[in-house]
């Protein structure tokens, strides 16, 4: 059984393997690959390994790896990064965990950008910070109207 497993894993890792990366359990997550039934597993794998996560995020967004915060064994931020973009859209630099940034990059690529193209006919170019979105609430707009308004302003580069 061990021989079969070893041969199988070597087959999957071979550069000429017939299994596409998105279906290959031996290949790390790629944000740009289509979602498959094993994407969740690959995302869990990546978010539990700070170095793997940082390697993936180097290609999915602009990041700088910074020193982890350790308050005690139960509190801190492991895999801490400074994020400047999560794909096509930029944002004001934020410090977060790589795991959070990777989830954002996946959402940006597979959710936000396709929705923006469908609703607005263009990609989101910049993300607004939360304080700008909260300010729209005082205008009495519905959640959907606020999102559409923000996407329009962002796509035009106005915020």
Lowest mean pLDDT among 26-35, 94-103, 122-131: 122-131
pTM of this structure: 0.70
Mean pLDDT, residues 121-147 taken together: 65
> Distance between the two ends of the chain, CA-based, in angstroms?
58
Q: Output the pLDDT for position 7.
A: 44
Q: Which residue has the tokens 């006919």?
A: 121
Cβ neighbours, 10 Å, residue 7: 10
Q: Of 72, 152, 91, which is closest to residue 120 (Cα–Cα)?
A: 152
Can you spell out the DSSP letters for 41-61? HHHHHHHT-HHHHHHHHHHHS
Q: Output the pLDDT for position 117.
A: 92
Spatial contact of 94 and 123, defined as CB atoms under 8 Å apart: no
| d(C-alpha 127, C-alpha 23), whole Å | 31
**Residue 108 DSSP SS3:** helix
| d(C-alpha 19, C-alpha 67), whole Å | 37
Q: Strand 69-72 relative to strand 75-77: parallel, antiparallel, unpaired? A: antiparallel
Q: Output the pLDDT for position 73.
A: 84
Q: Output the pLDDT for position 5.
A: 46
- Is the pLDDT at 34 greater than 70, yes or no? yes
């Amino acid at each position: 059984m061990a021989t079969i497993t070893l041969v199988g894993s070597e087959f999957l890792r071979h550069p000429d393997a017939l299994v596409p990366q998105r279906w290959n359990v031996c290949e790390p997550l790629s944000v740009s690959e289509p979602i498959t039934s094993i994407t969740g597993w690959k995302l869990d794998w990546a978010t539990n390994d700070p170095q793997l996560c940082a390697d993936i995020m180097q290609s999915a967004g602009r990041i700088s790896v910074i020193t982890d915060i350790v308050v005690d064994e139960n509190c801190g931020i492991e895999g801490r990064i400074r994020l400047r973009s999560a794909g096509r859209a930029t944002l004001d630099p934020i410090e977060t965990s790589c795991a959070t940034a990777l989830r954002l990059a996946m959402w940006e690529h597979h959710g936000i950008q396709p929705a923006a193209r469908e609703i607005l006919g263009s990609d989101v170019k910049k993300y607004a910070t939360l304080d700008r979105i909260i300010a729209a609430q005082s205008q009495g707009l519905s959640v959907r109207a606020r999102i559409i308004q923000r996407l329009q302003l962002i796509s035009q580069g106005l915020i």
